[in-house]
Structure 1
Amino acid sequence: MKFELFQECQTATRDYYNRYWQMLKEVELADELGWDSYGMSEQHFTPVEYSSGCPEIFFTAVAMRTKKIRIRQGIVLLLKAVNHPLKIAERIGMMDIMSNGRMDLGTGRGNKLGMLKAFEVPLEETRQQWEEALEMIPKIWTEETFSWDGKFYHIPPTVVNPKPIQKPHPSLWTATTSPEMYELAGQKGIGVLCFDFTSPDKTAKNVEIYRKSIKTAKPVGSFVTNGVAILTMGLCAETTEYARRLAKEPMMAFISEAGRIYAELAATKVKSYQYMGKQLAEAAAHPEFEYLCDDATLVVGDPEECIKKLRLYQQAGADQVIIRMDGMPHQKQMDSIRLFAEHVFPALR
């Protein structure tokens, strides 16, 4: 099993300057200690909980300061008013060069009503826009001259450079939270970033849907990425009691904000967002931090406790676990990165 450090510049004080520089030190340490990958999502207009509107800029700094850790944009928004596929292909191509072939592309359509309204994205079109852009990007990377005539994009013959140095191209992933998206990702032959925000035994049911679907995949790219990366929030410390005390406030702040934005989209009655209402109802049944730790929705504790919880993710079908570690004191996160690498991961690899 592989492990990713995932961050979004969470800072209760809005001291983004210092938090970004702290994050660079944290990913440098993760690279040195053998974490497998580093990820950041594209999040707009949600101060405090998320401040990662331009992850590609941060990733370039990461690429210059690291040697081995893979870099996954998880996710870039495939929405016409936010990111044109030609620009995405160019950016990932250049970042793949600057990282010496360490880029992976995670995709999505957005989960915040405020962002979608600000960029004037029709809610009913987000799934279709994601699908069309996803079809385009690997072709842009692999065709010398690219052209396209679809519903949202009409592109004359165009030469797009630079190409990625990974051949045939970087792996493709998508954020998944509903059974429908797990099945669709499998059909398209791309990896899943499981952002269910629930216990691993519940995510396992969706993983089964994905594994079944991918057996008959018609990949959008040049190959099938058969991968399951499950998201959790984590912190490892010398004792479980101390880890929980450190993690409770920032993790619950994140969960509260996630609940708010899910509720906004569910309330729109747009069909493709109605699954969010079901997830909210399930989360509301057990909102307590201690319960979320006990059922392994959160991986917080001493090394033994973290191993026990991460084994549940392994049993749920995870090839990778994405550990969101953000919003807690910088030095405690540095300690946690080291404890995970030296005392937790060896028991699971």
Structure 2
Amino acid sequence: MDFGLNFFPVIDPARKSAPEYYQETIKLAVAAESLGFEHVQTVEHYGSPYGGYCPDPVTLLSAIAARTSRIRLTTGAVIAAFNHPLKTAAKLSMLDNLSQGRLDAGFGRGFLPDEFGLFQVPMAESRARFAEMVDVCTALWSEDSVTWTGEFYRFGPVSLLPRPVQRPHPPVFVASATSAESCAAAGKAGHHLQVVPSVTSREQLREMLTAYREARAASDHPSRPRIQIKYTCYLSENRAEALETAERFERNYVDHMAGAVAGWAGTRSGQYPGYEKFVDKVRGYDFDAALAATKVLAGTPAEVRDQLAAIAGWYGDDLTVSIQVSPGHMPYEQSERTLRLFADQVMGEI
């Protein structure tokens, strides 16, 4: 099992400024590299405290690239529907060059109605736009000249500059929230996978991972499949302190998520079956139930090691667990203590 560091800024600007958040994120990424973490990753969201401090993961990861030399840099994920593939491929390739070949390119469909409204993109197009984005980017990275005539984009001939360092292209990750079908498609295409257990049941996530692994094995791709699974993590030698902190900042996350998913109350989409239930799920959030279901890592180092052993038993020991140690407006010193405690007494003991 490998471990990475995940940044998802769910922050009220009144509690922590953007410059403060960015500087703390870079410092944590530098520390993560020195402690042996495999990757850092961040998201793409717009217009609200739910991720809005990171509208462009490439910009933040480029700043991290300038301060590091080994740790991999992962978009988790670029939202296909909100970006033109020619520009996306070029920006990601530039990051691969700036980092000397450390990019893992994660792509996602997006799921918030309000964000689709901001970009005036129909949610009904998200799956097709996602598929075309990934195909265009891999073509631009891999081929000397590309002429593209697709459902949404037409251009060329064009030769992408700069060419990516990694050949034939950087590793491609597909972010999937609840869809076994999407996981199977990613496996068949030979892509890697990003999943978030907090938004799905254990049984559903098992089905998703089984669909991915079986499809990838059947397609006989030469590279080793990589699966990133994301958790928030709260650690202390004092169990009560860890759980109090976890409940407070998980509640902050849920409160901001409630505002972000509110658009689902009046939205229905065949592209997103069951997503209209997000509103009720958020309203019914219970920290104790989430902890019991291991949707969050929290407690003493020994307890978190036990949680990770359970996760490996449920989902496989070939995972890369990506932890978030800086949720919400948590003070930097507390985030760094968690990171170092995890590296020393959790990661170092597994």
User: Structure 2 length normalisation: TM-score?
Assistant: 0.91
Q: Who is 2:156 aligned against?
A: 156
Structure 1 contact 5–37 (Cα < 8 Å) conserved: yes
Question: By how many angstroms is 1:187 displaced?
Answer: 2.3
Matched letter for residue 154 of structure 1:
R
Q: Who is 2:182 aligned against?
A: 181
Structure 1 contact 200–296 (Cα < 8 Å) conserved: no
Question: By how many angstroms is 1:49 displaced?
Answer: 5.1
Structure 2 contact 93–162 (Cα < 8 Å) conserved: yes
Q: Who is 2:244 aligned against?
A: 245
Decide whether aligned partners of structure 1 residues 188 and 265 sit closer, same or farther in structure 2, where only a CA change above 3 A counts: farther
Matches within 5 A, 1:117-136: 117-136=117-136
Q: Who is 1:22 aligned against?
A: 24
Classify the secondary structure of the residue corresponding to 1:45.
Answer: coil
User: d(CA) in 2 for partners of 1:259 and 1:310?
Assistant: 28
Matched letter for residue 188 of structure 1:
A
Question: By how many angstroms is 1:215 displaced?
Answer: 2.2
Q: Who is 1:108 aligned against?
A: 108
Question: By how many angstroms is 1:275 displaced?
Answer: 3.1
User: d(CA) in 2 for partners of 1:230 and 1:35?
Assistant: 14
Matched letter for residue 314 of structure 1:
A
Q: Who is 1:320 aligned against?
A: 320
Question: By how many angstroms is 1:195 displaced?
Answer: 2.1
User: d(CA) in 2 for partners of 1:8 and 1:89?
Assistant: 23
Q: Which consecutive unaligned segments of at least 5 residues does structure 2 have?
A: none
User: Structure 1 length normalisation: TM-score?
Assistant: 0.91
1:126-174 residue CA offsets vs partner (Å, 9 max, x unmatched): 1100001111111101111111111111112111110111122110011
Question: By how many angstroms is 1:125 displaced?
Answer: 0.5
Classify the secondary structure of the residue corresponding to 1:271.
Answer: coil
Q: Who is 2:289 aligned against?
A: 291
Classify the secondary structure of the residue corresponding to 1:273.
Answer: coil
Which one is further off, 311-320 or 256-265?
A: 256-265
Decide whether aligned partners of structure 1 residues 217 and 301 sit closer, same or farther in structure 2, where only a CA change above 3 A counts: same
Question: By how many angstroms is 1:253 displaced?
Answer: 2.0
Matches within 5 A, 1:35-50: 35-47=37-49, 50=52
Q: Who is 2:349 aligned against?
A: 347
Q: Who is 1:203 aligned against?
A: 205
User: d(CA) in 1 for partners of 2:271 and 2:289?
Assistant: 30
User: d(CA) in 2 for partners of 1:250 and 1:4?
Assistant: 20
Q: Who is 2:139 aligned against?
A: 139
Decide whether aligned partners of structure 1 residues 48 and 117 sit closer, same or farther in structure 2, where only a CA change above 3 A counts: closer
User: d(CA) in 1 for partners of 2:267 and 2:298?
Assistant: 34
Structure 1 contact 31–69 (Cα < 8 Å) conserved: yes
RMSD: 2.2
Which one is further off, 255-264 or 203-212?
A: 255-264
1:168-198 residue CA offsets vs partner (Å, 9 max, x unmatched): 2110011112222222222222111112414
Q: Who is 1:331 aligned against?
A: 333
Question: By how many angstroms is 1:341 displaced?
Answer: 0.8
Matches within 5 A, 1:84-103: 84-103=84-103
Question: By how many angstroms is 1:257 displaced?
Answer: 3.4
1:2-28 residue CA offsets vs partner (Å, 9 max, x unmatched): 111111333331411211111111111
Decide whether aligned partners of structure 1 residues 258 and 320 sit closer, same or farther in structure 2, where only a CA change above 3 A counts: same
Q: Who is 1:301 aligned against?
A: 299
Classify the secondary structure of the residue corresponding to 2:240.
Answer: helix
Matches within 5 A, 1:37-76: 37-47=39-49, 50-76=52-78
Identity of aligned pairs, percent?
A: 26
Structure 1 contact 266–273 (Cα < 8 Å) conserved: no
Decide whether aligned partners of structure 1 residues 274 and 35 sit closer, same or farther in structure 2, where only a CA change above 3 A counts: same
Aligned length: 342
Decide whether aligned partners of structure 1 residues 228 and 299 sit closer, same or farther in structure 2, where only a CA change above 3 A counts: same
Q: Which consecutive unaligned segments of at least 5 residues does structure 1 have?
A: none
Question: By how many angstroms is 1:335 displaced?
Answer: 0.4
Structure 2 contact 50–257 (Cα < 8 Å) conserved: no
Structure 2 contact 264–278 (Cα < 8 Å) conserved: no
Classify the secondary structure of the residue corresponding to 2:115.
Answer: helix
Classify the secondary structure of the residue corresponding to 1:314.
Answer: helix
Decide whether aligned partners of structure 1 residues 331 and 176 sit closer, same or farther in structure 2, where only a CA change above 3 A counts: same
User: d(CA) in 1 for partners of 2:17 and 2:271?
Assistant: 36
